Amino acid sequence: MSVIPATSFQMGQTIDYGYGEIDGPRHEVIFRQDFALARTEVTVGEFRKFVATTGHESGGDCNVYTDTRSWHVDPTRSWENPGFEQDENHPVVCVSWDDAVAYANWLSEQTGIAYRLPSEAEWEYVASTGGIEGDNGIVDHDEANIGLDPCCGGKTSGRDVWIKTAPVASFAADRYGIYDMRGNVWEWQADCHQDMYEGAPVDGSARTDCETPDKRSIRGGSYGDAGDYLSPRYRLPGPRSQGYFTVGFRLARTINEN
């Protein structure tokens, strides 16, 4: 993991992506403790070890996007069979928020270190200050595994030779030594999802008081996205009990926690 020193930044921005303004108001977040973020997304091999050790059963509801331009649950898809080829070093997908939290809790028990999902504030700070990807969200295919612009679908170009997921750390790290903050797969956040930031924590912690607590935030874009979807401020909601063939996760932890 990479340690991110305690700091402050201006989070959020009122953005109109064509269907109304979201994500405002801009507000200051002050991190009073260092935190650490995993350098890579959790891989198929790592998640497989968790399942083999614990017998954990994923919910099995994996959402896919079809040629009809609609999302739906495909009962034949799972983290073991997302519908495309992956090896053990690819980021695991088709895992729900609940699966991700279960993995973090298991790893915490195994290591004695309190792992968790990152808060949206932690993720946005790292993604917007890492210095390797454009702040407007447009990422070059030589810098990240991304897709078509406009949305949606996989694309190969330059260093990006993967239509679907790429092995983690296939592209250059940001200035913190962290890989794939944007592109490859979207990432579950600890926060419940609220359209606007009124009432959001200002200490960098995850939001837990939402009107729809069963919806959790997802960030980062994927192998099938480009353009605004890759903005460090762009976010989407997802039902906590379902997975997507474009969504995985990475872990975080608090440093010097009392």
Query: Do 64 and 74 form a contact (C-beta atoms < 8 A)?
Result: yes
Neighbours of 229 (CB within 10 A): 25
Digitized pLDDT (tens) for each residue of the chain, 258 residues in all: 999 999 999 998 766 655 555 567 889 999 999 999 999 999 999 999 999 999 999 877 999 987 666 889 999 999 999 999 999 999 999 999 999 999 999 999 999 999 999 999 999 999 999 876 556 677 899 999 999 988 789 999 999 999 999 999 999 999 999 999 999 999 999 999 998 888 999 999 999 999 999 999 999 999 999 988 898 888 999 999 999 999 999 999 999 754
| Closest CA relative to residue 243, chosen from 104, 83, 22, 68 | 83
Query: Do 239 and 215 form a contact (C-beta atoms < 8 A)?
Result: yes
The SS3 assignment for 10 reads strand
| Stated pTM of the model | 0.94
